[in-house]
Amino acid sequence: MIEIQASEAKTHLPRLLDEVERGETLIITRHGRRIARLIPEPDLRQAEVEQAIANIRAMGSRSAGITVEELLSARDEGRR
């Protein structure tokens, strides 16, 4: 979770929206008080999760097993 002042959020909104799109929750504050929360769209996030699960299952069926490196790579794919 990221906390950011409203004035700074205004300046960096495109970058912050990218963070939210990648799954991060953003708290906007004014004078030290929390005033808003931006969260990822749940339907979009759920679709990404389901696709990642399908990809992991497909990798497992192609070989005798899946390595830890392959699993971590699949997990991190959505974070780029």
Give the model confidence (pLDDT) of 13-30 as tens digits: 999 999 998 889 999 999
Query: Residue 64: which pLDDT band, with cuts at 50, 70 and 90?
Result: low
- Give the pLDDT confidence of 28-61 residue by residue, as tens digits: 999 999 999 999 887 777 777 888 888 888 876 7
User: Does the pTM of the predicted model rise above 0.75?
Assistant: no
Gap between the Cα atoms of 60 and 54, Å rounded:
10
Gap between the Cα atoms of 21 and 41, Å rounded:
8
How far does Cα 52 stand from its chain's mean position? Answer: 13
Q: Which CATH class is domain 2-38?
A: alpha beta
Domain ranges of the chain: 2-38, 42-77
Output the CA torsion sign for 79, 14, 28, 47: negative
CB-count exposure of residue 15 (10 Å: 0-12, 13-18, 19+)? exposed
